A and B are shown apart, each in its own frame.
Chain A
Amino acid sequence: MSGKVCSSSNSVIQAQKLVDQLRLEASMERIKISLTAADLVQYCQDHRRSDPLLTGISASSNPFKDKKTCVVL
Chain B
Amino acid sequence: MRSPLIPEMATQEVQLNETLAHLKTESETLKTKLEEERAKLHDVELHQVAEKVEGLGQFVMKTRRTLKGHGNKVLCMDWCKDKRRIVSSSQDGKVIVWDAFTTNKEHAVTMPCTWVMACAYAPSGCAVACGGLDNKCSVYPLSLDKNENLAAKKKSVAMHTNYLSACSFTNSDMQILTSSGDGTCALWDVESGQLLQSFHGHAADVLCLDLAPSETGNTFVSGGCDKKANVWDMRSGQCIQSFETHESDINSVRYYPSGDAFASGSDDATCRLYDLRADREVAIYSKESIIFGVSSVDFSLSGRLLFGGYNDYTINVWDVLKGTRVSILFGHENRVSTLRVSPDGTAFCTGSWDHTLRIWA
Contact = CB atoms under 8 A, between A and B. Distances in A.
Contacts of B301: 47, 50-54
Given A25-B242, A31-B41, A44 B320 contact: yes
Nearest to B348: A53
Contacts, number: 179
Contact of B41 (A11, A23, A30): A30
B16 A8 contact: yes
B346 A47 contact: no
Interface stretch (B108-116, B182-190, B272-280, B289-297): B272-280
Interface residues of A, number: 48
Interface in B40-69: 40-46, 49-50, 53, 56, 59-61, 64-65
Interface stretch (B21-29, B129-137, B145-153): B21-29
A32 B278 contact: yes
Q: Is the interface of A mostly helix, strand, loop or mixed?
A: helix
Instruction: Using C-beta atoms within 8 Å of the partner chain, give the interface range for chain B.
Output: 35 or more
A64 B277 CA distance: 37
B302 A26 contact: no
Nearest to A50: B301
B64 A64 contact: yes
Given A52-B345, A53-B346, A26 B33 contact: yes
Contact of A47 (B16, B257, B275): B257
A57 B346 contact: yes
Nearest 10 pairs of A and B residues by beta carbon: A47-B302, A51-B302, A22-B30, A15-B23, A8-B16, A37-B49, A64-B64, A51-B301, A53-B300, A64-B361
